[in-house]
Amino acid sequence: MQVGTLKPSLTKTLERRYRAIELPEGEDRETFLAEHGGDVTAVVTSGRFGVQADLMDRLPKLGAVVNFGVGFDTTDVEAAQARNIVVSNTPDVLTDCVADTAVALLLDVMRGFSAADRFVRAGRWPSEGNPPLTRQASNRRVGILGLGRIGGAIAHRLVGFNCTISYHNRREVAASPYTYYADLAEMAREVDVLVIAAAGGAGTSGLVTRDVLAALGPKGYLVNIARGSVVDEDALVELLLAGQLAGAGLDVFAHEPKVPQALLELDNVVLLPHVGSGTVETRAAMEELTLANLDNFLHSGTVLNPVY
């Protein structure tokens, strides 16, 4: 069964190869579950939709939740574990693409490229002169929240920009060449840019508090390619409006696809519609890995990329 709207080619393959059906929305859902819920052995979904305990309880034969995407914060993994349901994701194949997105956001928000593009398109150049001068991205101090696969790939790229890298994780990463901060606010005080690369979910919800954002200071930038839930979004908006932060590059938001109106009106933010992994190559690789996880489960009862 498919929960939520997925990539059309993935849906087509699921329908053709597995005769998968999409869980309907609204009133039809109840009828569908009453008629078919007892037959469903695997669900394919994405980080946008996920599967919660109440749906698991309607699918007594469910053995796997196969996630298209690396983030699985919308699935109740504890509930799955308690019911012996395996959960898989698609790690590694999107690491480079998402790390590229983080660096692009960092460059864009500091150099104001998107704002300059709007300036040209609005016919303001040269009649209004040039857009304001921007900030250099090279040689900066960058703090990474979440030095995992994606955080590590971002750090690796930024070393090429001669940036000094520090990071905050729950625990220090053994043999990491970067400076570890056990205290996130302390790291924020010491860096020019904070890049969020931590997984979403209860463990990181609201981790980037108003205090952490304020510690970045009026010359500090925030980049988020992870999950909007990691940041106090109201505080972010307030500090940006008050000039207490220099800018933000965001691919994710707290209540997607809702983007706070105030952000839409600011020139010192770059806003992307959660496209961190959105290249032809990466999405094809994610699709392949999703299907490989599903196949593996259907043939052997296990998945290739279990999340617990």
> Is residue 146 part of the contact set for ligand DGY (CB under 6 A)?
no
- Which residue from 277, 290, 293, 305 is in contact with ligand DGY, where contact means CB under 6 A? 277
Nearest to ligand DGY of 11, 41 (CB atom): 11
Question: What are the distances in angstroms from CA 100 to CA 103, 157, 214?
Answer: 5, 8, 27
Per CB under 6 A, the list member of 23, 70, 145, 184 interacting with ligand DGY is: 70
If one asks whether residue 71 binds ligand DGY (CB under 6 A), the answer comes out as yes
The DSSP code sequence of 243-255 is TSS-EEEES--TB
What letter does residue 49 receive in the DSSP assignment? T
Amino acid at 218: P
Q: Contacts with ligand DGY: how many residues (CB under 6 A)?
A: 7
CA dihedral 19, 24, 30, 32 (to 10 degrees): -20
- String of contacts with ligand DGY for each residue 82-111, x by CB under 6 A: ------------x-----------------
Instruction: Work out how close the CB of 202 gets to ligand DGY at its nearest, in angstroms, rounded to a whole number.
Output: 16
Burial of 257 (0-12, 13-18, 19+ CB in 10 A): exposed
Told to judge if 256 belongs to the known catalytic residues of this protein, a careful annotator would answer yes
Nearest approach in angstroms of CB 27 to ligand DGY is 28
Q: Is 228 among the residues that bind ligand DGY (CB under 6 A)?
A: no
Question: Would you say 59 or 102 has its CB closer to ligand DGY?
Answer: 102
- Tell me the closest approach of the beta carbon of residue 70 to ligand DGY, in angstroms: 4
Question: What b/e sequence results for 115-149 when a residue is b if at least 16 CB atoms lie within 10 Å of its CB, and e otherwise?
Answer: bbeebeeeeeeeeeeebeebeebeebebbbbbbbb
Q: Which of 134, 276, 294, 307 binds ligand DGY (CB under 6 A)?
A: 276
Q: How far is the CB of 277 from ligand DGY (least distance, A)?
A: 5
Q: Is 274 a catalytic residue?
A: yes
Active-site pick, 233, 274, 283, 287: 274
Nearer to ligand DGY, 44 or 214 (CB): 44
Q: Is 227 among the catalytic positions?
A: yes
Build a one-symbol-per-residue string for 38-67: x at contacts with ligand DGY by CB under 6 A, - elsewhere.
---------x--------------------
Token couple for 174: 């053994």
Which residues face 269 on adjacent strands?
Answer: 248
Residues 42 and 18: their CA atoms lie apart, in Å, by 10
**Coil, helix or strand for 136?**
coil
Token output for 58: 């309607």
If the CB atoms of residues 48 and 157 are measured against ligand DGY, the closer one turns out to be: 48
Distance CA 292, CA 286 (A): 10
Catalytic residue annotation = 227, 256, 274
Residues of the shown chain interacting with ligand DGY in the complex, contacts defined by CB under 6 A: 47, 69-71, 94, 276-277
